[in-house]
Amino acid sequence: MRYSAFSIFKQALAGNLGWKPAWREPQPKPHYDVIIVGGGGHGLATAYYLAKEFGVRNIAVVEKGYLGSGNVGRNTTIVRSNYMLPGNEPFYEFSLKLWEGLEQELNYNVMLSQRGIISLYHNDSQRDHYTRRGNAMMMEGVAAEQLDRDTLKKMLPFLNFDHARFPIIGGLLQKRAGTARHDAVAWGFARGADRLGVDLIQNCEVTGIRRESGVVTGVETTKGFIGCNKLALAAAGNTSRVGEMAGLKLPIESHVLQAFVTEGLKPCIDHVITYGAGHFYISQSDKGGLVFGAEIDGYSSYAQRGNLATAEHVMEEGVTMIPGLSRVRVLRAWGGVMDMSMDGSPIIDRTPIDNLYLNCGWCYGGFKATPASGFCFAYLIAKGESHHVARALRLDRFERGFPIDEAGVGTQPNLH
């Protein structure tokens, strides 16, 4: 069923009784060409592009909960491509370009809002860093703009410009960045994949990976054994657990990251704003709630909930940046499990095990990567080689000495 203004009108006249479910609820078949573990953004996008672009149709996405129950439905919805290193920037820019056509591509409103992201800086060395980052972006053909303090004061008068320790002296703007409605992205890719014949199997946990003579032959699940020619892992925060089922020890730590939403306010924050003195980021949703978050909780966990000490820390950062925030009530908070890699950059690669493919290491930033990650992972699975924008995102880059250390903090996931 195609969605259009006409279909809304037609359904309204018919009492809205003719809408069809957005996807089927199939039972698993005994065997698939490709099984993807994880019905988050990346797993669903991979299935969609495999079917759409690479003609592989006999695919199952196996999800232990419901589609979108993981990080894809828990993030703070920021979409951007303001990265610095050559291993990352072309990949994230490819992703942003896919975002720009995604609603037409999927015939689904993912509410992409290119409202711009402003990264604030507070001292000379940070200004140098953001100047370098802006230049690196422009060298890859991505527009970036430096905003001085006076311009920022006119644009964002509610910020605390004269904080004694963290005065705001400028910001880096990427105008094409913004937000998208997170769970609509999962639903859009799910519906698109389903229409191309992909089986989306919910409430089906993968509990084991079967190998014969070293080759992966399928997965043990709570709905029985399902065979496959190729197995693709897109389990985000549970990557290390799923990897372990195949005997893989991966350079990934799982950490909790929290998000917060306030009561609805009239439009007051027009951009996404990030705070250089901490890791605080904020935007306003279309419903009016302020959506914000900051650092990970700082200890390893597989629980989708965070601790109060971090909540307090996040609020403090927010109020330091926007004093008026102290008078707004927080309505909701939740946590997601982040697959933190050792250099803060992702992995899209084959594994040392035949027929086993890996997509992980998304840290805080995998939502914006969803379309490119799906496309490049599908490319790898279908063609057996990396897409050119994902060539640096190799699993063995740590042992070869080629980490993509975007934050410049080395192997410390808590600092990425």
- Segment near ligand FAD (CB under 6 A); pick from 9-17, 63-71, 87-95, 321-329: 63-71
Q: What is the torsion angle, in degrees rounded to the nearest 10, for the CA atoms of residue 363, residue 180, residue 196 and residue 355?
A: -10
* 348 lies in the binding site for ligand FAD (CB under 6 A): no
CA distance 384 to 292: 39
Exactly one of 23, 28, 38, 113 binds ligand FAD (CB under 6 A); that residue is: 38
* x-marked contacts with ligand FAD along 198-237 as a string, rule CB under 6 A: -------xx---------------------------xxxx
Burial class (CB in 10 A: 0-12, 13-18, 19+), 21: exposed
Binding mask 233-262 for ligand FAD (x = CB under 6 A): -xxxxx---x--------------xxx---
Q: How far is the CB of 234 from ligand FAD (least distance, A)?
A: 5
Burial string for 91-108 (b: 16+ CB within 10 Å, else e) reads bbbbbbebbeebbebbeb
Please identify, using beta-carbon distances, which residue of 42 and 122 lies nearer to ligand FAD: 42
Half-sphere exposure of 130 (CA within 13 A, CB side): 23
Q: What is the dihedral of CA 67, 240, 301, 279, to 10 degrees?
A: -80
Decide if residue 69 touches ligand FAD (CB under 6 A): yes
Q: Which two structure tokens, joined as six digits, stand for 100?
A: 């720009």
Nearer to ligand FAD, 41 or 127 (CB): 41
Q: Judged by CB, which is closer to ligand FAD: 127, or 349?
A: 349
Element (H, E) at 356: strand 356-360
Binding part of the chain for ligand FAD, among 141-149, 190-198, 223-231, 365-373 by CB under 6 A, reads 365-373
User: 171: which residues sit within 8 A by CB, 6+ positions away?
Assistant: 118, 119, 120, 121, 130, 146, 147, 152
Closest CA to 102 of 40, 39, 37, 48: 48
Nearer to ligand FAD, 310 or 386 (CB): 310
Stretch that binds ligand FAD, among 65-73, 90-98, 160-168, 315-323 (CB under 6 A): 65-73
State the residues that interact with ligand FAD by CB under 6 A.
Answer: 37-43, 62-65, 69-72, 74-78, 205-206, 234-238, 242, 257-259, 293, 336, 338, 362, 364-368
